[in-house]
Amino acid sequence: MTAHSEPLAPAPRSRAASVQKISFAGGCEAWLVEDYAVPLVALECAFPGGAAQDAPGKAGCATMLSALLDEGAGPLDDEAFHRALDEKAIELSFSVDRDTLRGHLRTLAKHVEAAFDLLRLAVNAPRFDERPVERVRAQITAGLKREANDPDSRAAKAWREAAFPDHPYGRPTNGTLESIAAITRDDLVAMRRAGFARDGLKVAIVGAIDATRARALLEAAFGALPQTAALRDVPEARMANLGAVRVVDIDLPQSTIRFGAPGVGRRDPDYDAAVVVNHILGGGVFSARLFKEVREKRGLAYSVHSGLQTQQRGAIFAGATSTKNERAAESLSVIESEIAGLAEDGPTDDELAKAKSYLTGSYALRFDSSTKIAGQLVQLQIDGFDVDYLDRRNALIEAVTMDDAKRVAKRLFGAGQLLVAVAGRPEGIEGRHLG
């Protein structure tokens, strides 16, 4: 090194290099990150299907199934199963979205065998005993009754039903009072049998465990599942009723507004530019246009946001806010105006630079715990990316140019039509059609 030379900056740490791929159970693959900083192991797994697999008239079946997988399995009834979890501080739960049913496991490394054995039982031999089935049914029913008086839930439900009236994406994932009452034990057994297979299984493990031990535990947990799932075909979702406003009458002083339009798919070449454009519009930060115009300048609402939802059979741009009934029409008008302005003129240089800086700088926050890392790795597998995306992602955001942003803003918002659902008693909105 010469007297005037600068020391070389350390190379950025590669996230992809820390990921090992483990083959197990005759063709399945898990992504493993060994990390012995703390004596914990986290696992995330996902089976394809989700709430989109609910049969007509049985909406909520996948939700009910996910809630019952840890309510007794194999020789353990619900009380014995929970006692086994509690005795070793094992966290095991399941959840469902529209396209997947997911498992979440977190355990001390010294209890990893016991934890994986409980996972094995839950996935392969759930009991669906009458007592927990009826308890979970009652819990979901109580939640649905609360949602009946919640404007945000009502607006979201109305928006979905209007957007996808003849598609599984239009059904509520938690079902309805009628559909939950109609779900039988046989429905739950059939859904688990049809959906739990090895061909679509995605798995990630993070923590104090090596590849040899992880492979053996995965074989034991998932190896007995059938090779192929028997899922219903889910067609592409085409959004309906663009330009319409649906009003749900609720006697409250505030109105909740949901708005949206078709989005950009996760594997679309324009996706990264769409992320940047949405961040500029309403990405949930103080610099977003909607926040500035709706909250800061006019005081119309406490919060307003927009986002991209990349479901596997259809992508959505969607947003929401809540405001006083008498200011609902003004709030919606401001939102429409900002969307139209971004479509017409694109962002400013400053907005583009700040959005890219925030999105790249905040990416590390998705990896600040073993549970988050496992979740990110499973999502990448679901989306069809390889591990190198972990290192490429920020470069993809940085590569978005002003021309890209303008083109994608016009693509997302240029049609000028939103589907809107409002819950409350909004003044000046009922019966209005947009576009």
Q: What is the pLDDT of residue 295?
A: 94
Q: Please, which pLDDT band fits residue 79 given cuts at 50, 70 and 90?
A: very high
Work out whether the CA dihedral 385, 387, 388, 392 comes out positive or negative.
positive
- Tens of pLDDT, residues 82-121: 999 999 999 999 999 999 999 999 999 999 999 999 999 9
Q: Which residue has the higher pLDDT, 3 or 342?
A: 342
- pTM value is 0.93
What's the total number of domains in the chain? Answer: 2
Over pLDDT 90: what percentage of the chain? 93
Q: 316 and 168, same structural domain?
A: no
Q: 169 and 266, same structural domain?
A: no
Q: What is the pLDDT of residue 10?
A: 43
Pairing of the two strands 40-48 and 19-24: unpaired
Q: Is residue 5 part of a domain?
A: no
Q: 371 and 286, same structural domain?
A: yes
Q: What is the pLDDT of residue 434?
A: 38
Q: 283 and 155, same structural domain?
A: no
Q: Which contacts qualify for 393-400: CB closer than 8 Å, 24 or more apart?
A: 393/363, 394/360, 394/363, 396/272, 397/272, 397/275, 397/276, 397/356, 397/359, 397/360, 398/356, 398/360, 399/272, 400/272, 400/273, 400/276, 400/352, 400/356
At residue 202, does pLDDT exceed 90?
yes
Q: Is residue 303 part of a domain?
A: yes
Q: What is the pLDDT of residue 188?
A: 98
Q: Is residue 239 part of a domain?
A: no
Q: What is the pLDDT of residue 431?
A: 55
Q: Is residue 240 part of a domain?
A: no
Q: Provide the terminal-to-terminal Cα distance of the chain, rounded to the nearest Å.
A: 66
- Tens of pLDDT, residues 376-432: 999 999 999 999 999 999 999 999 999 999 999 999 998 889 999 999 999 998 754
Q: What is the pLDDT of residue 13?
A: 77
Average pLDDT of the segment spanning 221-227:
97
Average pLDDT of the segment spanning 146-153:
95
At residue 433, does pLDDT exceed 50?
no
Q: 141 and 42, same structural domain?
A: yes
Q: 213 and 260, same structural domain?
A: no
Q: 201 and 62, same structural domain?
A: yes
- Tens of pLDDT, residues 32-69: 999 999 999 999 999 999 999 999 999 999 999 999 99
Average pLDDT of the segment spanning 312-335:
96
CA distances from 146 to 87, 132, 135 (A): 34, 21, 17
Q: Is residue 307 part of a domain?
A: yes
Q: 257 and 159, same structural domain?
A: no
Name the DSSP letter for residue 294. Answer: I
Residue range of the domain that includes 288: 245-424
